Amino acid sequence: MKSDELLALFLRRGVLWPTAEIYGGAQGLYDYGPLGTALKRNLEEAWTAWFVGLSHDYYRIDATDLLPEAVVRASGHLENFTDPEIVCAQCHNVFRADTVLEKVRPEGVDGLTAAQIGEIVHAEHVRCPNCGSTALEVPPPFNLMFGVDFGVTGKERAYLRPETAQSSYLAFARMWEVGRHALPLGIAVVGKAYRNEIAPRQVLFRMRAFTQAELQIFFDPEHFALPFDRVREEKLPMLRVARRESGAEEPEWIAASELVASGGLPEFYVYHLAHLYRFFHDVLGYPAERIRFFEKSDTERAFYNRIQFDAEVKLESLGGYKELGAVHYRGDYDLGRHSEGSGKKLSVTLTDGRTVRPHVLELTFGVDRNLWALADIHLGRDGDRTVWKLPPYLAPLTAGVFPLIEKAHAAYALRLADELALVGLRVQYDDAGAIGRRYARMDEAGTPFDVTIDGVTVADGPERDTVTVRERDSKAQTRVPASDVAARLLASVRFPRPART
């Protein structure tokens, strides 16, 4: 589907809408309705089950969105978390530099100084996208953080966190104390991050308030033992820097073992890349041929990273590969900076007597972007219907429960819907309109099952009664004992989990 069609469907079904819609909306801000909220929560839980499930020593915490200034000063965000912008002296519009220079510099402007960008603008006679003027200026880069007054004196500053990762770094010392005093130790946060993006666009892709799911794995740099055999043979879709420089856009499939043996990547890095691939492919159902791991070069990497591959997925609605997550090897950058900033050592003594400052491997995942991707990939036309073929554990609703004839079957259907809700299933009772219309509404909302109560159910009596279960994707209908429905549905909503270490 095209982006506009997807957005129209989302608005019509109340999946999401612009924040402050009655005031005309606010750029880069969206709120989720009932279907969107349920899908987002399931996506967050699926992510948690998979990544926090990687080890017995990985935990999820919840932390505040506000960070005191000292934190973002130490982390480097005050100084480095910037985007170059271009200002038109004629019409006074402000643009992201990479957008204005898209044609003359398709590889982007990461790593370039304002002066270097200015040289390109003048050498290429670049014009303002709005008014066509060549009077373009490149001011010092623009900091993307939202700063707020903190307290009543007006003297203290705080910042809305630009990445959830910072909350995990701040928690490390306490988590070490309350934990098993062992590495690796994983600290995950799922929550809001905020960026004052210069040009919010593409609905959920460049937002000013968005949700990240990030796992920071703190490990001993001399020893991070993992069951690499579990992924050794797995082939991964890699687009490495050398291949990119030759003009290729499609990845080549390289075995995990080879990426380590001759690709120069550490085992711990490839092991997690393979698990991210499995999450995309096996859990979220993204087709293999749409996924690629895009290596960032020395000049393109985020300021804290030593190795960075973005996890990209080809999306029809947005016309190409889009970054949905990444694996970042951040070394000891963060604990080092926070150690300097706070005056706390942030190194740990291990059972063999060594004192080390842990290194960090970060698995980052954009929840909103992936919610969009789940629609791009699984929502579409199937014959004469629109159907969202979400994996059942992600679907906002697991079942619609329908009385075939409202008057005759409503009491039974309502009771069954209640019973299913009581065991924790997400079900919706619906008696409005013809049964075909009710199926259509559920298909569009991604509901994997519909349970219909009819004359046979009621005639059979309470002991032997059967209901019809319709499967969304095949449209197949089967009669099953009413007493089996809950177990059948519950089995479909379990989140997949990896083997733990």
Residue 187 CB, shortest distance to ligand GAP, in Å, is 13
Name residue 185's beta-bridge partners.
218
- Closest residue to ligand GAP, judged by C-beta, is 366
**In this structure, which long-range contacts are made by residues 337-346, counting pairs with CB atoms below 8 Å and at least 24 apart in sequence?**
337/74, 337/75, 337/76, 338/71, 338/74, 338/75, 338/169, 338/170, 340/74, 341/70, 341/71, 341/73, 341/74, 341/75, 342/70, 342/74, 344/173, 346/172, 346/173
Residue 16 CB, shortest distance to ligand GAP, in Å, is 13
Strands 66-68 and 136-137, by their bridges, are: unpaired
Asked whether position 167 contacts ligand GAP by CB under 6 A, the answer is no
Nearer to ligand GAP, 318 or 326 (CB): 326
Amino acid present at 496? P
From 316, 314, 270, select the one nearest 291 (Cα to Cα).
Answer: 314
Asked whether position 214 contacts ligand GAP by CB under 6 A, the answer is yes
Nearer to ligand GAP, 143 or 364 (CB): 364
From 394, 360, 66, select the one nearest 214 (Cα to Cα).
Answer: 360
Asked whether position 47 contacts ligand GAP by CB under 6 A, the answer is no
Q: Please give the Cα distance from 230 to 194 (Å, whole number).
A: 37
Residue of 318, 324, 404, 451 that binds ligand GAP (CB under 6 A): 324
**In this structure, which long-range contacts are made by residues 221-226, counting pairs with CB atoms below 8 Å and at least 24 apart in sequence?**
221/331, 221/332, 221/356, 221/358, 221/359, 222/354, 222/356, 224/183, 224/184, 224/266, 224/267, 224/268, 226/267, 226/268, 226/271, 226/501
Nearer to ligand GAP, 276 or 399 (CB): 276
HEC assignment per residue over 203-226: CCCECCEEEEEEEEEEEECCECCC
Asked whether position 334 contacts ligand GAP by CB under 6 A, the answer is no
Residue of 78, 160, 189, 207 that binds ligand GAP (CB under 6 A): 207
What is the enclosing helix (H) or strand (E) of 49?
Answer: helix 34-51
Residue 393 CB, shortest distance to ligand GAP, in Å, is 21
Nearer to ligand GAP, 127 or 206 (CB): 206
Nearer to ligand GAP, 213 or 395 (CB): 213
Asked whether position 67 contacts ligand GAP by CB under 6 A, the answer is no
Residue of 165, 188, 273, 379 that binds ligand GAP (CB under 6 A): 165
Asked whether position 369 contacts ligand GAP by CB under 6 A, the answer is yes
Residue of 13, 77, 161, 195 that binds ligand GAP (CB under 6 A): 195
Q: Which stretch binds ligand GAP (CB under 6 A): 206-214, 292-300, 343-351, 487-495?
A: 206-214
Asked whether position 364 contacts ligand GAP by CB under 6 A, the answer is yes
Amino acid present at 250? E
| Per-residue contact string for residues 121-150; x = within reach of ligand GAP by CB under 6 A | ------------------------------
Residue of 143, 167, 168, 212 that binds ligand GAP (CB under 6 A): 212
From 332, 333, 335, select the one nearest 344 (Cα to Cα).
Answer: 335
Size of the site for ligand GAP (CB under 6 A): 19
Locate 451 and state its tokens: 């349970």
Asked whether position 30 contacts ligand GAP by CB under 6 A, the answer is no
Asked whether position 206 contacts ligand GAP by CB under 6 A, the answer is yes
Q: Please give the Cα distance from 82 to 402 (Å, whole number).
A: 53
Nearer to ligand GAP, 294 or 449 (CB): 294
Asked whether position 213 contacts ligand GAP by CB under 6 A, the answer is no
Residue of 186, 366, 391, 396 that binds ligand GAP (CB under 6 A): 366
Q: Which stretch binds ligand GAP (CB under 6 A): 177-185, 200-208, 225-233, 480-488?
A: 200-208
Q: Which stretch binds ligand GAP (CB under 6 A): 174-182, 249-257, 323-331, 337-345?
A: 323-331
Buried b (16+ CB within 10 A) or exposed e, 389-416: bbbbbbbbbbbbbbbbeeeebeebbeeb
Q: Please give the Cα distance from 243 to 253 (Å, whole number).
A: 12
Residue 342 CB, shortest distance to ligand GAP, in Å, is 20
Q: Are 462 and 448 in contact (CB under 8 A)?
A: no
Q: Please give the Cα distance from 317 to 373 (Å, whole number).
A: 9
Write the DSSP string, 230-273.
GTTT-EEEEE-HHHHHTT--S-EEEEHHHHHHTT---HHHHHHH
Residue of 323, 431, 465, 471 that binds ligand GAP (CB under 6 A): 323
Residue 214 CB, shortest distance to ligand GAP, in Å, is 5
Nearer to ligand GAP, 165 or 453 (CB): 165
Asked whether position 187 contacts ligand GAP by CB under 6 A, the answer is no
Give the residues lining the site for ligand GAP (CB under 6 A): 163, 165, 195, 197, 205-207, 210, 212, 214, 323-326, 362, 364, 366, 368-369
